[in-house]
Amino acid sequence: MSVKIGIISFAHMHAYSYADVLQHLPAAELVGVSDDDAERGRRVAGELGIAYYDSDEALLDNVQAVVVTTENARHTEQVLQAADAGVAVLCEKPIATTVADAEEMIDACQEAGVQLMTSFSCRFAPAFIEANNMIVAGELGPILAIQGTNRSRNPGGWFTDKQLAGGGSVMDHTVHIADLMRVVTGDEAASVYCEMDTVYQPELPVEDSGVVTVEFSQGCIGSIDCSWSRPPHYPIWGDATLCIIGESGNLWLDLFLEHLDYYHNPDDSYNWTSYAESPNYVLMEQFTDCVQSGAPVPITGQDGLKALEITLAAYESAQSAQPVSLPA
């Protein structure tokens, strides 16, 4: 029996990739979508050949699990509904835009006995899996420093709406690298410092550039470039890179590097066309397996919250121009 899954909202572009994966995953059955933008919902449902539900409640009545890909600040609303309906949730990152929201989501899912997984897909990139296995096996010795980047083009739309997104590039791009840092160190951040600004499009109401410095409780240091610094015609949407310095060795990861150079005459374009396997496939496979078996999900709501805490500390630091300590 495959797991019946729905998608709530195509506000986040990752929903398209999740839908594609779900339609190829034998263990899953993508049964339908709901979307508060009915026109978008109907169009996508039509393209995917699945049902459109005109309310989230109606969708939740027909599935065992949902993917929540609404705008960041609205995740809470849908996750609480799903918990109420006893439906397992895969929530897009960042899990929420405030600690209170994230905690409410985690508590509600726990009380309802439904699984809540945070969509940190970078954990499933093959190069990261290999690197982390080496680190866990002790091949690099203790991890001393991690320098990471998650840079992209400005995604536009609601991503630059402070109410819906909770911030700009720092909200969008700190959590993936922060999460990988937590995985690699097995530790939590103790202090956070951040410089951020609005530069590339000065009229934006949110920041579009930033660099976050983190120190973990056991002493590992790190920085995260979370800027929307890729120009509109950059040959790829962006990157996720890590440089990891260990006592016994170093390693570099460039998770979206695999590509063919593609020069295309009709539109005078140059792009990178990826040949990498999608980490979203493994992410979704693990999620559906957990839903089916009832096993704990590999990336929890708590993981989403810890990465969010680093992000929110970055905003606090940028306000005060001082490092911010996180409680142990």
Partner 1 sequence: MLNVAVIGTGTLGKSHVANFAQIDGCQVRRVYDVVAEAAQECSEQVGAEVASDAKECYADDIDVVVVTTPTSYHAEYCVQAAQAGKHIFCEKPMTRTVEQGEEIMAAVAEAGVTMTVGHVVRLFPEYAQATKMIKSGELGKIGMVRMTRINTMPRGSHSWFQDFEASGGVFLDMSIHDVDWLLWTFGKPERIYMKGLWEHMPKLDYALCTLRFPDGTIAHVEGSWADLGLFRTNFEITGSEGLLAHDSTANVTLTVQKRATEGTGAAEVQVPASPAYKSPYLMEDELFIEALQTGGPPPVSVSEALEAVKVALAGLQSAQTGEVVEYQ
Strands in 116-118's sheet, in edge-to-edge order, are 51-53, 28-34, 3-8, 65-68, 88-91, 116-118
Instruction: Return the residues of window 214-273 that contact partner 1 according to CB under 8 A.
Output: 215, 221-223, 225, 227, 229-231, 234, 243, 245, 247, 249-250
Footprint of partner 1 on 172-191 (CB under 8 A): 191
Binding mask 81-120 toward partner 1 (x if CB under 8 A, else -) reads ----------------------------------------
Taking a C-beta distance cutoff of 8 angstroms, is the pair 314, 192 a contact?
yes
Residues that contact partner 1, how many (by CB under 8 A): 35
Give the three-state DSSP class for 319. helix
Q: Which of 193, 256, 281, 315 binds partner 1 (CB under 8 A)?
A: 193
- Of the candidates 15, 13, 18, the one whose C-alpha atom is nearest the C-alpha of residue 28 is 18
In the complex, the smallest distance separating the C-beta of residue 305 from partner 1, rounded to whole angstroms, is 24
The single residue among 6, 210, 279, 304 that binds partner 1, judged by CB under 8 A, is 210
We find the least distance from the C-beta atom of residue 136 to partner 1, in angstroms, to be: 20
Report the sign of the C-alpha dihedral through residues 284, 113, 9, 70, in that order.
Answer: negative
Instruction: List the x/- string, 136-175, binding to partner 1 by CB under 8 A.
Output: --------xx-x----------------------------
Contact of 257 with 127, CB cutoff 8 Å = no
Q: Estimate the crossing angle of helix 279-293 against helix 14-24, to 10 degrees.
A: 60
205 binds partner 1 (CB under 8 A): no
**Residue 260 contacts by C-beta under 8 Å, 6 or more apart in sequence?**
272, 273, 275
Residue type, 20: D
Residues that bind partner 1 (CB under 8 A): 144-145, 147, 191, 193, 195-197, 199-202, 208-211, 213, 215, 221-223, 225, 227, 229-231, 234, 243, 245, 247, 249-250, 321-323
